[in-house]
Structure 1
Amino acid sequence: MTPLSNSKQKLSALIITYNEMGYIERCIDSISFADEIIVVDSFSTDGTYEYLKKLPNVKVIQNPFENFTAQKSFTLKQATNDWILFVDADEVVNNKLENEIIETINSPKACEAYWFYRKFMFQNKPLNFSGWQTDKNHRLFRKSKARFTDKKIVHETLEVDGTSCILKEKLTHYCYKDYNDYKGKMLRYGQLKAKEAFYKEKKFNYFSMIAKPLWKFFNHYFLRLGFLDGKRGIIISYLNALGVLERSKELKRLEKKNKLAYYLVMP
């Protein structure tokens, strides 16, 4: 382990949490090389906040959850250093990636932001296909050169003023703890995506409600080789499709609620 305190550039590691016990412990351990660790918790009920409060190297703040973009933007404002490592509570930085991060931010040729490819873990076993093999996210960037766009409220997007590069080592992502956990995650994402679509004045239709989930499953299981992951590929492809179905159902509910509110205020 290389202590970052001896390097020229300082790093702030940021996380947002809600009910992350079982994930957050190894995540925090893996980013202990950072100069500061800041966690913004949206009032967890499983002991996550209490656990984090006991850690001397972690600053934890509670903030109500509006959406992912708003929460991450709030968290970013808490950082005192320019270099930011933003990880999810179910992600882990291995030793090789740690060394690459330290070398990268201290390089005179460093880019303004870096994409990370991710290695997906399904109940502690690698998930090699099922649509995730090309997944990458911005995780390392200069605070002064980046911001989260307000155009998306889920699958938040970083806008970078400058060049984005890609790190060689992968971030380990423990995407699947158990069936109910992943199902709940997909349903929440679907509901937030529906709100995003509603704000953009996209309309619900029954064809999309049927066709898009079927396409999602077909794409992940067949075209993105989910069948090579065996039973795990079926589960992941099905739950991802379920999230798309929930998006349509939630959009329909929002439109119905909006129409009802309109008629109630009509003279």
Structure 2
Amino acid sequence: MAGFRTPKQKLSALIITYNEIGYIEKCIDSVSFADEIIVVDSYSTDGTYEYLLNHPKVKVIQNPFENFTAQKSFTLKQSSNDWVLFLDADEVVTKSLQKEIIETINNPNAHEAYWFYRKFMFQDKPLNYSGWQTDKNHRLFRKSKAHFTDKKIVHETLVVDGTSGILHEKLIHYCYKDYEDYKGKMLKYGRLKAKEDFYREKSFNYFLMTVKPIWKFLNHYIIRLGFLDGKKGWTICYLNALGVLERFRELKRLEKKNELAYYLVMP
């Protein structure tokens, strides 16, 4: 942390993990300036937990994964500081962003929360378009002034009691390791979104299952300029659309399973 003044406000860096051995080291190194680093791991099997357990700056807790909102809410409760920096395991804080974070939390006129724009990395190459040009997330906030809404179980939403600002420096997001890894993420997110729809009593619709994945692809690849990312853009846009298709397929499966359970318990 040479060159930076010691922050007056203390900061907790919070991360959730499951099988993140390819990413977690860079993420942890990038938040070493925080006063505490807490990682909640959902029983990784690839060495992630062992790496974290042996890291001198990390407090690691294992907790079963139910959904993203529940896991992040649990993690937030573990923080001993009011200011928290909540990252995904495949995100990295640059030195310039680190400096801006420290300056921000020590500003007496600071907002209660801050949005971060992200720079997406396709393996080690930047992805500049493909629908993510305007992507931003709450990553820095006061624990006492925010919570994750339980209305969503994936792509969790932070509810802020107060105002939000935007930091200028971008967070680096290593979103794409390889084809199968990203495909697995999109299918997982699709299934979780289907559960969310099912709990909200949304009904499966064949027309929407046909139209929405196509629209997702065309919107991101053509309207949101994914074609300018070349082959990388095609791959990302296709897999994002596949995630939407999986959402409808899973919703259909859940409805059939529910119908079967209903008929089995009928007198």
TM-score by length of 2: 0.99
Distance (Å, rounded) in 2 between the aligned partners of 1:224 and 1:242: 17
Q: Is 1:222 aligned to 2:233, yes or no?
A: no
Q: Mark the runs of 5 or more structure 1 residues left unpaired by the alignment.
A: none
Instruction: Indicate whether 1:236 and 2:236 are aligned.
Output: yes
Q: Taking structure 1 as reference, are residues 90 and 246 closer, same or farther at Cα in structure 2, changes over 3 Å only?
A: same
Matched, 1:99 2:99: yes
What SS does the corresponding residue of 2:50 show, helix, strand or coil?
Answer: helix
* Cα distance in 1 between the residues matched to 2:42 and 2:4: 29
Q: Matches of 2:3 and 2:201 in 1, distance apart?
A: 50
Deviation at 1:148, TM superposition (A): 0.1
How far 1:217 sits from its partner (Å)? 0.3
- Give the distance between the partners of 1:5 and 1:237, measured in 2 at CA: 43
Checking the alignment, whether the CA contact within 8 Å between 1:4 and 1:33 is kept in structure 2 is: no
Which residue identity lines up with residue 64 of structure 1 in the other structure? Answer: P
Read off the aligned partner of 2:45 and give its amino acid letter. T
Name the structure 2 match of 1:67.
67
Shift, 1:7, TM fit:
1.8
Which whole-Å CA distance do the structure 2 matches of 1:247 and 1:169 have between them? 33
Aligned-partner Cα distance in 2 for 1:21–1:174: 13
Partner of 1:164: 164
State the AA in 1 paired with 2:197: A
- Counterpart of 2:250 in structure 1 is 250
- Rounded Cα–Cα distance in structure 1 between residues aligned with 2:16 and 2:2: 25
State the distance in 1 between where 2:4 and 2:33 align: 6
Q: Does structure 2 conserve the Cα–Cα contact (< 8 Å) formed by 1:112 and 1:145?
A: yes
Q: Is the 8 A contact 1:5 1:35 kept in 2?
A: no
Once the 2 structures are TM-superposed, how far is the Cα of residue 141 of structure 1 from its aligned partner?
0.1
Give, in angstroms, the shift of residue 3 of structure 1: 8.0
* Shift in CA distance, 258/121, structure 1 to aligned 2, threshold 3 Å: same
| Runs of 5+ unmatched residues, structure 2 | none
Q: What CA distance in whole angstroms lies between the structure 2 residues aligned with 1:4 and 1:34?
A: 12
Residue aligned with 2:117, SS: strand
Pairing 1:121–2:136 present: no
Superposition deviation, residue 6 in structure 1: 2.4
- The aligned length equals 267
SS at match of 1:87: strand
Q: What is the distance in 2 between the residues matched to 1:25 and 1:226?
A: 30
- TM-score, normalised relative to structure 1: 0.99
Identity of aligned residues (%): 80
- The amino acid that maps onto 2:174 is Y
- Matched with 2:49 is 49
Equivalents in 2 of 1:195, 1:121: separation in Å? 29
- The alpha-carbon deviation at position 5 of structure 1 amounts to 8.3
What amino acid is aligned across from residue 104 of structure 1 in structure 2?
Answer: T
> C-alpha displacement at 1:2, in angstroms?
4.9
CA distance in 1, matches of 2:161, 2:117: 21
Residues 147 and 2 (structure 1), Cα distance of their counterparts in 2 relative to 1, 3 Å cut: farther
The answer to whether structure 1 residue 136 and structure 2 residue 136 are counterparts is: yes
**Secondary structure of 1:140's aligned partner:** strand
Name segments (4+ residues, structure 1) moved above 6 Å: none
1:39 equivalent in structure 2: 39
